[in-house]
Structure 1
Amino acid sequence: MATTTIQVSREARDHLAELARERGVSLGQLVEALAAEQPTAAQRAEQLAADREVARRLIGVDISDEEFEQAPDVHGNIYKIAAEKARAARGSAA
């Protein structure tokens, strides 16, 4: 495997070195792991397309990308409902 050198501030280097020591890995291994955790825009777009294709197959309806963009925020709505129920439960317990 070819390696390269990157330049960072001393503070960033020292911080990364401490994280690597705490995790029992080399600095290079830490940087590789951190980079692997962050998908690129192209990778995120590819995953979104794959997720939409699965949704299309599961519901058996061909929904366009534009229709997906206009769909309600399901996760946001679930969190909103849960928050409202939690507030109501606290209010009735008082």
Structure 2
Amino acid sequence: MATTTIQVSKETRDHLATLAAERGLTLGQLVQQLAEKEPTREQIAERLKADRDHARTLLGVDMSDEEFDRAPDILGNIYKIAAEKVRVARGEAA
């Protein structure tokens, strides 16, 4: 594998070196892991298209991208409902 050099401030280098050491990694391995966790805009767009295509097939509907954009945030709403149930169960105020 070819390698390269990147320039960062000493503070950033030291911070990354500490993180790498805590995780038992080399600095290069840490940077690679961090980069792999952050998708590019193109990768995000590809995932969104694949997810929407899957939903269309699974649900048997032919929704446009605009209709998906206007659709309610179902997962977000489920999280809100679950959080409210936890608060009620704990006796916390809403």
TM range (shorter): 0.7 to 0.9
Stretches of structure 2 that go unaligned for 5 or more consecutive residues are none
Judged with a 3 Å threshold, the aligned counterparts in structure 2 of structure 1 residues 26 and 81 are, in CA distance, closer, same or farther, namely: same
RMSD: 1.6
SS in 1 for 2:39: coil
Amino acid in structure 1 at the alignment position of 2:57:
R
> Structure 1, unaligned stretches of length 5 or more?
none
TM-aligned CA deviation for residue 89 of structure 1: 3.3
One-letter amino acid of the counterpart of residue 5, structure 1? T
Aligned length: 92
- The reply on whether 1:81 has 2:87 as its aligned counterpart is no
Calculate the TM-score normalised by the size of structure 2. 0.87
Q: Tell me the SS of whatever aligns to 1:4.
A: coil
Please name the residue that 2:22 is paired with: 22
Cα distance in 2, alignment partners of residues 9 and 80 from structure 1: 41
Give, as a single letter, the amino acid of the residue that structure 1 aligns with 2:19.
L
Instruction: For residue 19 of structure 1, give the secondary structure of its aligned residue in structure 2.
Output: helix
Residues of 1 paired with 2:39 and 2:89: CA distance?
Answer: 39
Identity %: 70
Structure 2 CA distance for aligned equivalents of residues 27 and 91 of structure 1? 47
Q: Residue 56 of structure 2 corresponds to which residue in structure 1?
A: 56
Structure-1-length-normalised TM-score:
0.87
Deviation at 1:91, TM superposition (A): 4.3
- Quote how far apart the aligned CAs of 1:75 are: 1.5
